[in-house]
Amino acid sequence: EPEVTQTPSHQVTQMGQEVILRCVPISNHLYFYWYRQILGQKVEFLVSFYNNEISEKSEIFDDQFSVERPDGSNFTLKIRSTKLEDSAMYFCASKEGIAGTDTQYFGPGTRLTVL
């Protein structure tokens, strides 16, 4: 069964450094998402992406964040200058079509630790 993959599984970085989290969505999917989950808290929406542009973003997704689909397979989340509070599990998700009935399939997550 096709699945969403994410790399790395764990990223440790120093505060102020840039990080890029990578995701490979399911191949025929057109909509892509990033979510984050701070330890012990709920999963929060960050951004959705379709047709090479951001469709929607939350208030969390400020200028420090950016997303990109640099080629036909990868979908990346970049945090330009990490802060301690960016430490969280980051989940990528993809879905096939526009309908709300389409299931979002989640990757296993990348645990980001900012020191």
Partner 1 sequence: AQSVTQLDSQVPVFEEAPVELRCNYSSSVSVYLFWYVQYPNQGLQLLLKYLSGSTLVKGINGFEAEFNKSQTSFHLRKPSVHISDTAEYFCAVTKINNDMRFGAGTRLTVKP
109 touches partner 1 by CB under 8 A: yes
Q: Can you name the residues that pair with 36 across neighbouring β-strands? A: 44, 90
Q: Which stretch binds partner 1 (CB under 8 A): 14-22, 65-73, 74-82, 97-105?
A: 97-105
Q: Return contacts of 51-55, CB within 8 angstroms, 24+ apart.
A: 55/31
Kindly tell me which residue out of 21, 29, 33, 86 binds partner 1, with binding defined by CB under 8 A. 33
Q: Which stretch binds partner 1 (CB under 8 A): 17-25, 42-50, 67-75, 79-87?
A: 42-50
Q: Is residue 37 classed as helix, strand or coil in its secondary structure?
A: strand
Binding to partner 1 (CB under 8 A) within 61-90 occurs at none
Q: Is residue 86 classed as helix, strand or coil in its secondary structure?
A: helix
- Burial string for 72-99 (b: 16+ CB within 10 Å, else e) reads eeebebebeebeeebbbbbbbbbbeeee
Kindly tell me which residue out of 25, 104, 112, 114 binds partner 1, with binding defined by CB under 8 A. 104
**CB of 14 or CB of 100, closer to partner 1:** 100
Binding site for partner 1 (CB under 8 A): 33, 35, 41-45, 48, 55-56, 58, 91, 93, 98-101, 103-109
